[in-house]
Amino acid sequence: MTRQKVSRRTFIRLALLGGIGAGVAYIQHQTAGVGMLNIVRWSLRGQMQWLKPPAIVGLGKCASYDVDLVSYLRELWDISEMPDLRGKSILVKPNLLDEIDNIIATTNPQLVGAVVDLLREMGVSKVVVGEGSAFRRDTYSVVKSCGLSQILDSHGVPFIDLNYDELIPVKVRDGWIRNTDTLWLPRHVTEADYIISIPKLKAHHWAGVTLSLKNLLGVIPSSRYGWPKNIIHINGINATILGLYQSLPPVVSIVDGIIGMEGNGPLFGKPVHHELLAVGRDPLAVDIICTQLMGFSIDSIPHLIGAATAGIGQAKKIETRGIAPDQLQKHYEAPPTL
């Protein structure tokens, strides 16, 4: 029996194939949690953003909540090429995480009232304000103590505690939420034509920043997932933010940065008189700009990097309008974990 000789060329080919196979197996192993297909899809979609038009973020400088906020918002809305909301059903989602004596941690009620006024001026068919507090069994406790209840009463706008709304199972997309194909979401969320996310501009000890995207976690119903939105402790806060965002109706952003929070946010930080209002129809773009205006690198904010990489919004090309960013630049104290 003669031994067949392997030529040098064949050997190199086999070694190359073996190397590629080992590489694929390694990547598959490393990405087993989310799947290589997802990673490829996210990467391609992220690169596709280069082919799309830039996201527009309107920036305003507003010294106080005791001014004609509707005028500020109207101007920012107009320059930011926001969607036409005539006849639409709108859920306004402020950040009402919790209320602690002498700490400003919630979206300012005057600003929420101004957003409602603006929406009515635009001719929306329906507007409700909703939130599900992460720390309180009754979100209305926060609504009352932060002063929002008076504003809502005077505007005749209903408040929906999203923790107790009727729940609708929604299919999750894109592989961000592990071990389930369904998220239970409040009816007022699933039935809205648009969600207006109005976060308080804050540093956040876990997510880095809490802005338009992170603010959306408040719609997760605690009556299903527990307080404080316990799915984030299992699935991870960053993946949950991205998975949730992709399961929602279109979201647009109005960021309350008139007084922001630095340091140990979202509850125990210090106020920053930032005088910033930011508006945009792409929450990722708005959050990137706001993060930069806080003086943080987006590289340190995993959910923004994740969203940018996966093309969940426009991160490659962002155009700001209104006040120039350098006039709004601050350097927030980072949260202890950043």
Interface residues toward another protein, by CB under 8 A: 100-101, 135-138, 140-141, 144-145, 164-167, 169, 184, 205, 223-228, 230, 233-234, 264, 267-268, 336-337
CB of residue 269 to another protein, shortest distance in Å: 10
Question: Shortest Cβ distance from residue 246 to another protein (Å)?
Answer: 22
CA 293, CA 332: separation in Å to the nearest integer? 9
Q: What is the 3 state secondary structure string of 122-139?
A: HCCCEEEEEECCCCCCCH
Name the residue among 193, 187, 196 with its Cα closest to residue 116.
196
- Please answer whether residues 286 and 57 qualify as being in contact, where contact means their C-beta atoms are separated by less than 8 angstroms: yes
Write down the least CB distance from residue 204 to another protein, Å.
Answer: 11
State in angstroms the smallest separation of the CB of 310 from another protein.
Answer: 26
Determine the Cα–Cα distance for residues 82 and 69; give it in Å rounded to an integer: 17
In whole angstroms, how close is the CB of 103 to another protein at the nearest point? 10
Q: Which residue, 78 or 166, is less far from another protein as judged by CB?
A: 166
CB of 334 to another protein, least distance (A): 12
Assigned token pair, 8: 């040098």
Residues β-bridged to residue 270: 262
Distances (CA, A) of 50 to 79, 315, 328: 22, 9, 27
List the beta bridge partners of residue 277: 60, 256
Q: Which is nearer to another protein, 137 or 317 (CB)?
A: 137
**Residue 258 CB, nearest distance to another protein (Å)?**
24
Mark residue 236 as left, alpha or beta (left: phi above 0; alpha: psi -120 to 50; beta: remaining). left
Beta-bridge partners for 196: 92, 252
- C-alpha–C-alpha distance, residues 90 and 188, integer Å: 9
Interatomic CA distance for residues 61 and 48, integer angstroms: 33
The sign of the CA dihedral 88, 248, 191, 136 is negative
Pairing of the two strands 270-280 and 251-262: antiparallel
